[in-house]
Amino acid sequence: MKIGYARVSTFDQNMFLQIDALERAGCEKVFTDTASGSIDTRKGLIDAIDFCRSGDSLIVWKLDRLGRSLRHLIDTMNHLQLKGVEFVSLQECVDTRTSGGKLVFHVFGALAEFEREMIRERTRAGLRSARDRGVVTGRPKKLTKAQIQMARTLMKNLENKPRDICFTMKISRSTLYRYCHPQTKKI
């Protein structure tokens, strides 16, 4: 039996192209997900793999629909192989029923992993360059220096209750204590 799996990353996208291709490939049942490929546990994929029996083929429109990391792809392929299930990717012409298809799968997986690693390296280099130029990265501080000083002054007066200070300054109690706790030296 041919089982299809289709995935899109967001609800704004539609998977009609994938589903149509899977049906043309002869899939009798198609499982779907709307989730990022970086998420390892996707209900539709888990259901598709559980549905597969020995001798079945799991078919996807494109290799990246199955998973984004090489490790996840290989783990999924090993799991399918243990169950006696073959794998087919329509766009890359990968068919693990053939030795050539198995080789192509591993080459494509390695290239995809290489591409992701290059993106990570460029991102890290860009962040490092920005820091070297003095650009502050990360989440902005909740309070300015003047607001911190005001909160500390208010906290010194024991008649002021923390919840009143928080209400006045429009901050949470945890933010107040993070900046004004006696052991805290944040500025």
Active-site positions? 9
115: tokens are 């591409």
Contact 31, 44 (CB under 8 A): yes
Distance CA 146, CA 130 (A): 27
Angle at 65 between CA 15 and CA 12, to 5 degrees: 35
Q: Which helix (H) or strand (E) holds 86?
A: strand 86-89
Phi, psi dihedral angles at 123 (to 5 degrees): -65, -45
* Burial 138-160, CB ≥16 within 10 A → b, else e: eeeeebeeeebebbeebbeeeee
